[in-house]
Amino acid sequence: MKPKTNSIKYSLIKLAAITAVFTFNCYASNISNVEIKPNIILIVADDLGYGDIEPYGQQYTKTPTLNVLAKEGIKFTQHYAGSTVCGPSRASLLTGLHSGHSSIRGNPKWTDSGKPVDLSKQDTTFATMLQKNGYRTAVVGKWGMAEEVPTNLDAMPNAQGFDYFFGYKTHLAAHHYYWPTLFENNSEYPLVGNDYLKNKGQYTHDLFTTKALDYIKQSNTDKQQPFFLYLAYTIPHLALTVPEDAKSQYKNLGWPKRKLNTDGHYRNDPEGNVTYAAMISRMDRDIGKVMNTLKEQGIDDNTLVIFTSDNGHEYDNGFFNSNGPLRGKKRDLYEGGIRVPFIARWPDKIKAGTTSEHASAFWDYFATLCDLSMDKKSQACANTDGISFVNALTGQQEQAKHNYLYWEFNEKEGPLQALRKDNWKLVKKYPNKFELYNLDEDIGEHHNLIAQMPEKFDELKALLENARSAHPEFSLKKLANPWKNKSKN
């Protein structure tokens, strides 16, 4: 089946956009800082807010593994997701292009035609680049880049640079932790006895952890070939449900009760706050299993582990303070929707207990992985919007910085755009409302400074107007809700 975006017109548009990147960005190589290709594990939580874990100020949910990871590694305080929802955020992560240049700029069906856009042969992911540079590659968990029915194999992980895939193919399936069918590579993987309507059977998050541990052990049989694992957990995305054994530490603490709907699209457990905390702690526990396995296999010292989230939180209504000091949440382009936790650990390369204020984003991973894999000359590594953050990770003085960061998002509130340059942030709301914030002085984005700073507004507005390329499915027009009276995505 022909991919939706696989047209000569769009290919030319995309080529022009990538070429234009060099007018405002550069690929900054830090290869001299990497002496040997490390194993790399990238763990991405789903809808985890900036303040949802203890290293970023969480007071209720316990995350001891991530505490240790932060103490033994580095914490970034200004790290940004690719978007404020899953699909475009992960597309930006994989392709190294921000949402003004990426082929996927919205979640399924939030397009001009109402049809989903998948990855295609015209897209190059960092996994393809890593394969060419000697890495074995795997993705375990949520994919969400292949929404077409029947399945478009060009959009599946095996065609996008991953040697192995286990998990959810689509967003809709990933809304349910007891879904009856996963995928292993391109084949369906049935989970006999799973009932997502009753939350019965095998909890898929646990299975992802098992598969990840198996992959690490299998990859370690050939120590001459490094591995890359993209562990795309679905916690704590709705539906909120978790096995009862995870809840015990949070029961009877006097927390306010929050009763959730148990029979809608999301089959939530009845008590929301206990479930939410228990889900995050279960993920933290299982990240601990990953870290222990690295040590047991004798590869801990040469493995870079990164933990982050794909966008801001959706669940919290104030009790957990999931966005910390930030304004907004999932589906906003305020900081709470796009600024996410980032913790990295790499013994002897990353100084323990450090913090970085370097402003980085999901489209930087491609360039960073190019450095780590010692890719010195490929066209794929040159054609990104990203800047390697290897120097920030390893505490080097010279870390290249972005001229600006850009996001766009279009769902029921109409198209939104945002641009950050230095400490200044411009937000554009539909149809033509602008807000300007100084993040150094107003991290909560409370004081719109357009009236006081007209020259700064004009500067950022000009950048915003030229930050994106045209796309036949994402034209920034007002869209009808494709999910009205249907299952939510």
Rounded CA gap, 425 and 307, in Å? 25
Q: HEC profile for the chain?
A: CCCCCCCHHHHHHHHHHHHHHHHCCCCCCCHHHCCCCCEEEEEEECCCCCCCCHHHCCCCCCCHHHHHHHHHCEEECCEECCCCCHHHHHHHHHHCCCCCCCCCCCCCCCCCCCCCCCCCCCCCCHHHHHHHCCCEEEEEEECCCCCCCCCCHHHCHHHCCCCEEEEECCCCHHHCCCCCEEEECCEEEECCCCECCCCECCCHHHHHHHHHHHHHHHHCCCCCCCEEEEEECCCCCCCCCCCHHHCHHHCCCCCCCCECCCCCCCCCCCEHHHHHHHHHHHHHHHHHHHHHHHHHCCCCCCEEEEEEECCCCCCCCCCCCCCCCCCCCCCCCCHHHHECCEEEECCCCCCCCEEECCCEEHHHHHHHHHHHCCCCCCHHHHCCCCCCCHHHHHCCCCCCCCCCEEEEEEECCEEEEEEEECCEEEEEECCCEEEEEECCCCCCCCCCCCCCCHHHHHHHHHHHHCCCCCCCCCCCCCCCCCCCCCCCC
Contacts of 214 (CB under 8 A, 6+ apart): none
pTM metric for this prediction? 0.93
Residue with tokens 């060009």: 154
pLDDT band at 216 (very low <50, low <70, confident <90, very high): very high
Give the pLDDT confidence score for residue 11 in this predicted structure.
47
Cβ proximity of 47 and 293 under 8 Å:
no
Cβ proximity of 42 and 365 under 8 Å:
yes
Give the pLDDT confidence score for residue 20 in this predicted structure.
42
Question: What residue spans define the domains of the chain?
Answer: 26-403
pLDDT band at 483 (very low <50, low <70, confident <90, very high): confident
pLDDT band at 485 (very low <50, low <70, confident <90, very high): low
Cβ proximity of 214 and 258 under 8 Å:
no
- The torsion angles phi and psi of 187, rounded to 5 degrees, stand at -110, 145
Tens of pLDDT, residue by residue over 83-110, are 999 999 999 999 999 999 999 999 999 9
Give the pLDDT confidence score for residue 24 in this predicted structure.
37
Give the pLDDT confidence score for residue 350 in this predicted structure.
98
Sign of the Cα pseudo-torsion (247, 253, 255, 259, in order): positive
Task: Give the pair of three-digit tokens for residue 474.
Answer: 């994402």
- The torsion angles phi and psi of 268, rounded to 5 degrees, stand at -80, 155
Tens of pLDDT, residue by residue over 301-331, are 999 999 999 999 999 999 999 999 999 999 9
Tens of pLDDT, residue by residue over 173-204, are 999 999 999 999 999 999 999 999 999 999 99
Q: What is the dihedral of CA 31, 305, 300, 217, to 10 degrees?
A: -110
Question: 145: buried, middle or exposed (CB in 10 Å: 19+, 13-18, 0-12)?
Answer: buried
Give the pLDDT confidence score for residue 466 in this predicted structure.
98
Tens of pLDDT, residue by residue over 121-132, are 999 999 999 999
Give the pLDDT confidence score for residue 34 in this predicted structure.
58
Say yes or no to pLDDT of 6 above 50: no
Residue with tokens 């939706």: 4
Say yes or no to pLDDT of 31 above 50: no
Give the pLDDT confidence score for residue 220 in this predicted structure.
85
Considering the chain, what is the average pLDDT of its residues? 93
Tens of pLDDT, residue by residue over 383-407, are 999 999 999 999 998 999 999 999 9
Give the pLDDT confidence score for residue 484 in this predicted structure.
78
Q: Any idea which of 70-79, 220-229, 309-318, 470-479 has the lowest mean pLDDT?
A: 220-229
Class of domain 26-403: alpha beta
Tens of pLDDT, residue by residue over 411-424, are 999 999 999 999 99
